[in-house]
Chain A
Amino acid sequence: MTFWKDFDEILTAEMASITGGLVAGTVLAFVVNKIELIPAIFILLPGFLEMRGNISGSLSARMSSALFLGAAKPKVRKNRILRGNVAAAILLAVVVSTALGFVAFFANMVFFHVLDYRIIGVALIAGVLSNLIEIPLTVFTTFWLFRHGHDPNNIMGPYVTTTGDISSILSIFLAVLIV
């Protein structure tokens, strides 16, 4: 292992990744006045960001495998594997975000003695909204990359983490406005 080669590669990848994180942080700073009105929002936030990256990352990785193995074609219609993957991603986001809402609610009740049910609604609505943004974005980008001869596995990891962070914060903001 050479120091400079690894240093160069890791630093370049990290710079791209954290620039996305800074964009997400800036969006958070602009909407924080609204979202802080809901108690326990900061308990929900890290888990929600983690969930979004995990679901979209896995969706992209599974679709990439299917595309490379020839089990699925890069098209939306008549695609059994894509249908199953999208259905699973929607169901997982709904279940996990509801679970996160309950965790935030109970943690808020136990540690801060605040009883506010709105956080469960915020988690559920934000989970659905972020899906509406993130799933089409993930699927179309994976297909586009594959069609243009790129390996989606190399690009989609940092891509879904960054877009997932931004879409999650925007979804939470919209969910707070709705609730």
Chain B
Amino acid sequence: MKGRKKLFQKITKVRRHEHHPVLHHAHRKFGISRKTLFYMKEYGPRSHVAHVIVKESIKILIMASIISSIGGIGMEAISAKLVTIIPLLILLPALNDMVGDFGCIVSSKFTNMLYLGKVGTKWWRSRHLHTLFFVILSTSFITSVFIGVAASVISYWSGFALTLDIFLKVLTIAVLANIILVAVIFCVSIIGGLGIYGKNEDPNNFLIPITTSFADLLNLAIFAILVGMFF
């Protein structure tokens, strides 16, 4: 017990950026999980919690937010149309959430397939990948129809003069934007995942932020283009 306490004190004194052997020693000797030991090192009594968090996350947060803002430039360009065609405005946050969610799902599932050997260099032959593609495509089709209809109904209830023409255009924008984005998400995940995996890195650490940022940016751009085309 005394040795254990001494070892814990030693771990909390380890400098954060070090991969100190004492962590492996504690893991082997006492069977404490590596994650627990890592947490002790990161946020132990000697560490300044807020400083650690801010230092590690500020760059990625600013980068992710700026990438989304670039997509916002497309939205600003069509802002006059957005504020007059209310269903488009209601549709937008839901569409954005959906694209982010699909980016996460495809990236993490594709990474799992790589690790389990279900996808190789000839990825286009993988039965599992085909199934995933059809699952995502059919889900995105149903959900995009749902948000298109729901946005139109909500806008109608809130007093917007909805016509059949506007309803069909909103529905087409929702469905088209989604199908294009699902195809893009798959391309980015496959190319990125194979590239990262080929370099013996863990795709989990890179693929989700890459795919979701790219999809978010492209979502707003495609949305702006489609709105410009249809209205």
Q: Taking the complex as formed, is A80 at the interface, i.e. its CB lies under 8 A from any CB of chain B?
A: yes
By size class, the interface of chain A is: 35 or more
* Residues of chain A within 8 A of B146, CB atoms compared: 15, 18
Q: Let me know if B94 and A22 touch, CB within 8 A.
A: yes
What residue in chain B is nearest A6 (Cβ atoms)? B135
Q: Let me know if A71 and B43 touch, CB within 8 A.
A: yes
Task: Decide yes or no: A42 and B90 within 8 Å by CB, A11-B142, A92-B57 being known contacts.
Answer: no
Further 6 A-B residue pairs, CB within 8 A, beyond A14-B143, A30-B158? A10-B105, A18-B98, A25-B90, A44-B72, A47-B67, A50-B68
Q: Let me know if B50 and A85 touch, CB within 8 A.
A: yes
Total B residues in contact with A, Cβ cutoff 8 Å = 66
Task: Decide yes or no: A85 and B76 within 8 Å by CB, A58-B57, A71-B43 being known contacts.
Answer: no
Task: Decide yes or no: A43 and B101 within 8 Å by CB, A22-B154, A49-B93, A50-B65 being known contacts.
Answer: no
Closest Cβ–Cβ distance, residue A37 to chain B (whole Å): 10
Q: Let me know if B65 and A10 touch, CB within 8 A.
A: no
Q: Let me know if B139 and A28 touch, CB within 8 A.
A: no
**Looking at A84, A95, A107, A169, which has the most chain B CB atoms within 10 Å of its CB?**
A84
* Residues of chain A within 8 A of B230, CB atoms compared: none
Closest Cβ–Cβ distance, residue B182 to chain A (whole Å): 12
Q: Taking the complex as formed, is B202 at the interface, i.e. its CB lies under 8 A from any CB of chain A?
A: no
| A111 to B98 Cα, complex, angstroms | 28
| A76 to B72 Cα, complex, angstroms | 37
Q: Let me know if B97 and A28 touch, CB within 8 A.
A: no
Chain B positions near chain A (C-beta within 8 angstroms): 35-36, 39-40, 43, 45, 48-54, 57-58, 61-62, 64-73, 75-77, 79, 82-83, 86, 89-98, 100-101, 105, 128, 131-132, 134-136, 138-139, 142-143, 146-147, 150-151, 154-155, 158, 216, 220
| A87 to B49 Cα, complex, angstroms | 9
Q: Let me know if B95 and A21 touch, CB within 8 A.
A: yes
Task: Decide yes or no: A40 and B76 within 8 Å by CB, A18-B143, A33-B83 being known contacts.
Answer: yes
Q: Which 3 A-B pairs have the closest CB atoms?
A: A84-B49, A21-B94, A25-B90
What residue in chain A is nearest B95 (Cβ atoms)? A21
Closest Cβ–Cβ distance, residue B107 to chain A (whole Å): 14
- Which residues from 8 to 40 on chain A have a C-beta closer than 8 Å to any C-beta of chain B? 10-11, 13-15, 17-18, 20-22, 24-26, 28-30, 32-33, 36, 40
| A165 to B98 Cα, complex, angstroms | 13
Cβ 8 A contact of B48, one of A3, A84, A92, A107? A84
